[in-house]
Structures are given as C-alpha cells and as structure tokens.
Amino acid sequence: MTRICGPCLRVLVVASLVAVSAGAAEKLHSILDHGAKPDGVTLCTAAIQKAIERCAADGGGTVRLPAGSWLTGTVFLRSGVTLQLDAGCTLLGSTNRVDYLHRKSDDPPGAAPTVHDLIVGDKLERIAIRGAGKIDGNGSVWRDPKGKRPKAIMLSSCRDVLVEGIRIESTGSWAQHYRNCDRVTLRGITVFNHATFNNDGLDVDSCRDVTITGCNIDSDDDALCLKSTSTLPCENVTISDCKISSHCNGIKMGTESGGGFLNIKISNCAVSSPKRSKVIYGRQRGLAGIALEIVDGGKMDNVSVSDVEIEGVSVPIFVRLGNRARIYKPATAKPGVGTLQNITLRNITARGCSAIGCSITGQPDHPVRNITLENIRLGFEGGEGKTALAKPVQERPTSYPESTMFGTLPAWGFYCRHAHGLNFRNVQLRTDQPDQRHAVVCDDAENVTLDKLDAQFSAGAAPLIRLVQIRNFLLRGSRPEVPGGTLLSLEGSETKQIKLQDNDLSLVGKVAETSPNVPADAIPRQPKP
C-alpha cells in the first residue's frame, strides 16, 4: 500500500478545503431567500436550515449569513456546505430551551449535561464555518450548573473540517467541541467565553490530524483543551501561534483521557491570566499554564511543548498520571492506570506565578517516564516559610487532577514523584520573595539528571535539592549559590548512585546532609569547595 507522507497529506487536506471554498463561490445561498430576518427577535432556525438543505441538494456550496442579528436554535450542517458569517453578522443563540433539539447522549457518566447544540454536524465531510462574523450563545441565561446547556459548535465523526476567522462568545457550555473527527483545521478563531459554567474555549476530543493556529482564546474554564473521552486517542495534533487566557487551565490535555494523546506538538503560544472577567470556575489568575494529564487509563506519548510564554498563572507546569478511571460507557470495566511518557518541554518562560510550585507526578509502580525540560525560565512569587516541609504530599490517585490538588508543595520550583528518566537541562528558577522551601524535590525516582540547574537559594532555607529514594542521580555543569546552606538532602534506604560532575561548588556551604538510613556509599566523597 502506498503511504502518503505527512507534509503531502497536509497539502492534500488544504487543497480539499480550498476546493470546498471554490465550490462555495459558485453556489451561494442566502438565508434571506428563505425568510430569515436580521432583527435578533425573529426565530430564523427554519430559514437557516432550509438554506443549508437547498445548498446540500445542489451538491454543496456556501450558505451566507449577511450582516445582522440572526436568532436561532439548533441547525444541522450537511456535507459539502460552508456556513459563511459575514462581517457584522451575529448568529444569536435562542434563550428558549425548546428551540434546541435534544439528542440521546453518548457522553460518559459524570460529563457535563448538554442538549443538541447550536451548530451541529454528525458524520459529515468537507464542511466549513468561516467569516468575520460571530456566534453569540446568549450564555448568561444558562445558569443552572446541572442543567442542559448548549455549546456553540458540536461536530462529531466528521472529516475535512475548516473553522476559520469567526468569533465565538458567551455560550451555554463549551464554545466548540470536535469529537472523533479527522483532518480538522481551526484557524484564526477568537473566543471570549465568560458567561456561565463549563465555558471552555476550544475542545478537541479523540480527533486525528488536527491543526490549530492563530487562535485567540479567553475563557472562564479550560481555554485550549485536548480530550479523549472515548478509548480513541487524540492523535497527530499541531497547535501554534495562539494567545490563551483562562481562569482554569491554559493549554491542557485531559481531564478525559481514556484513549490518551499521541504525537502532539505545541509551539509559539502565550498563556496569561484573564484581565476582563469575574471568576466562575478556577481562580482569577488561572490554574495551570500547561497541564498534561492521564487519569482514565489512556496513553500519552510523544508530546512536545516549546516556545511558550506564561504570565501570572498559579502554576506554570503540571504533569499528572492518576487513576480516576472514569468509564466511557456504562456497565464496562474500569480501565487500569495509563501511561505517560516521552514528554519534552522546551523554551518555556513564566513570570509572576504563585508560590504553589510545579509538580510532575506518577503513581507508585506506575511512574511517568522520559520527561525532559530544556531551556526553562520560571519565576514564582515565593515568600513561603518551612510549614509545607512538614506536610506529607498525599498520593490522591483517584482525585480530579488539578495543579492545586496537593496544596502548597514542599518545593517552590518542582516537586517530582514516581518518575523514571527525568532530565532537566538549563533550567532557571527564581522567586520574587525569599522562600524557605526546597527548590527541587525528587521522591521515588530513578535516572534523574539536573544539567546546568540555576536555582535561587534564600538565606536559612532548606537544602536546595531534596532527594528521597532516588536511584541514579546526576547534578552536572551547575554553579549553585548556597552560601551558608546545604546543596543536597538525601533520604531513604534505596537512595544510591548520587553523582556530582563538573560543578562549581565554591559557593556551597555544605554539599550534602543524609538521613541515617541512607547507604554510606550513596554519594561519593566530595572535595572541599
């Protein structure tokens, strides 16, 4: 069988979408021809649907929504149809529940309830929603957190999808949901979603071959979120050049993670705290800038996040392998613990983050594997004393994963537990205020390398790096400034093969302190600085 290379496939996909647009120019259908009125009061659902059906019957083309306010309930796209929202057009969601057609939900137990949403497509091909107009979901009227609330766009099991240029705001639930779709391009979409509960910005769920670029998303709930609600993974996704703000998580994989996330590349994005909205979920400043989560038995593999600037969020980086084990279909067996491996975070800069600290955590006997952080510059508020050092960090395997789930961590920089293959290269950690906690804690980990670590030390603070039950650790090429303090704290009977190589320790008061149960040969004798 002849295989098409990735770049060639992308060219073919773009060509097919261009063909849709070209065809649309030849077959233009206006909703005005079917009785729609642009007054924001007259219900235009039937007129819009008639235009879509006529367009599809003619072999496809474009349904045009000119400038004006068009009130509507659920409308269904058809294969080969482009929905064109002209500049000055507002597709306004009805506030009457009966205008939204109900569907038999195949969402998993515990998912947010929904009705048949505003723009819906199921098992379609060659579809597009584009233009300079906007979709306003009238979301402020949908205030029942347990009630059924409409999304603006819901596309399921579709192929060759383009959504481009539009603005989405104030929806009843998520702004847009793409589930089990193939070859999806989301380009230049603007989202402002702060109307009600579950106001996500963009959700891609168990889809394949997805490109997201040039989007500007400001949402109360998770902003740009990859999910795998079913056992199918989210696979071959490229995200670039997006601006993101959220009271919850900026860039997120999860929480739904039954299938997992494979071959994901994220680059050239900016994440910040929302500036113009009140909090419904989360925190004013936001939760995590980057959240990578597997908690429902799926597999995360080959994920790259690079060139991301983060400002003001609570926690810049959160990586979690948990065991919530949510099932997709009723009466099916719960999944086992999934896997999270081969993750690279490179060229990440963060400023003004809270004192909580970043965490990278697996489960006992189920470690996260091969996690690399390279060229990382993180700034935290700091200012914590030693109280958090005495509080054990609970495992919480079945809890909802969130960057705040462990409370204030014993490390103001990175807390890492249950990890095999953890590589820090050229990582700089700073606090605005002196902090008495460790900069880095590693617990139950092996093959850990800290190469050119540059972490701030505050006078009177705990040892800069704490190692608990660590097997094969290397600190290399670093010049720690720990005057009058201790560089390493070693604990645990399994701690061994602790190596220091090519470091300048001239500004270190004491290289290491060890607990009584640490083997005598865990760390070689060090020359005096």
State mean pLDDT over 302-310.
99
State mean pLDDT over 517-525.
88
Nearest to 199 by CA among 189, 191, 207: 191
pLDDT tier for residue 523 given thresholds of 50, 70 and 90 = confident
Q: What is the pLDDT of residue 112?
A: 53
Kindly report, residue by residue over 98-143, the tens digit of the pLDDT. Answer: 999 876 656 555 555 555 799 999 999 999 999 999 999 999 999 8
DSSP for 85-130 reads E-TTEEEEEPS-GGGS------PPTTSPP--S-SEEEES-EEEEEE
pLDDT tier for residue 334 given thresholds of 50, 70 and 90 = very high
Q: What is the pLDDT of residue 107?
A: 58
Domains and CATH numbers, the chain: 75-81+118-514 (2.160.20.10)
Q: What is the pTM of this model?
A: 0.93
Kindly report, residue by residue over 383-434, the tens digit of the pLDDT. Answer: 999 999 999 999 999 999 999 999 999 999 999 999 999 999 999 999 999 9
Residues 82, 20 contacting (CB under 8 angstroms): yes
Percent of the chain with pLDDT over 90: 87
pLDDT at 5 over 60: no
pLDDT at 513 over 60: yes
Residue 490, strand partner residues: 467, 514
Nearest to 299 by CA among 344, 359, 372, 234: 234
Residues 85, 134 contacting (CB under 8 angstroms): yes
Using CA atoms, how far residue 296 sits from 196, 258, 406, in Å, is 27, 5, 19
pLDDT at 32 over 80: yes
pLDDT at 511 over 60: yes
pLDDT at 7 over 50: no
More confident residue, 204 or 528: 204
3-state secondary structure 283-317: CCCCCEEEEEEECCCCEEEEEEEEEEEEECCCEEE
Residue 519, strand partner residues: none
pLDDT at 173 over 50: yes
Kindly report, residue by residue over 430-469, the tens digit of the pLDDT. Answer: 999 999 999 999 999 999 999 999 999 999 999 999 999 9
Residues 131, 85 contacting (CB under 8 angstroms): yes
**Other beta carbons less than 10 A from residue 90's beta carbon:** 20
**Is the backbone of residue 263 left (phi > 0), alpha (psi -120 to 50) or beta?**
left
pLDDT tier for residue 18 given thresholds of 50, 70 and 90 = very low
Nearest to 444 by CA among 477, 409, 419: 419
Give the gyration radius of the chain's Cα atoms: 25
State mean pLDDT over 317-321.
99
Q: Mean pLDDT, the chain, as a whole number?
A: 93
Q: What is the pLDDT of residue 525?
A: 67
Structure tokens, 101: 């057609």
Nearest to 250 by CA among 311, 331, 197, 166: 311
State mean pLDDT over 289-312.
99
Handedness of CA 402, 407, 412, 418 (dihedral sign): negative
Q: What is the pLDDT of residue 528?
A: 55
pLDDT at 20 over 70: no
Q: What is the pLDDT of residue 1?
A: 43
State mean pLDDT over 265-288.
94
pLDDT tier for residue 15 given thresholds of 50, 70 and 90 = very low
Please give the Cα distance from 322 to 418 (Å, whole number). 11
State mean pLDDT over 251-269.
98
Q: What is the pLDDT of residue 8?
A: 46
Nearest to 340 by CA among 358, 360, 311, 310: 360
Q: What is the pLDDT of residue 400?
A: 98
Kindly report, residue by residue over 40-71, the tens digit of the pLDDT. Answer: 999 999 999 999 999 999 999 999 999 999 99
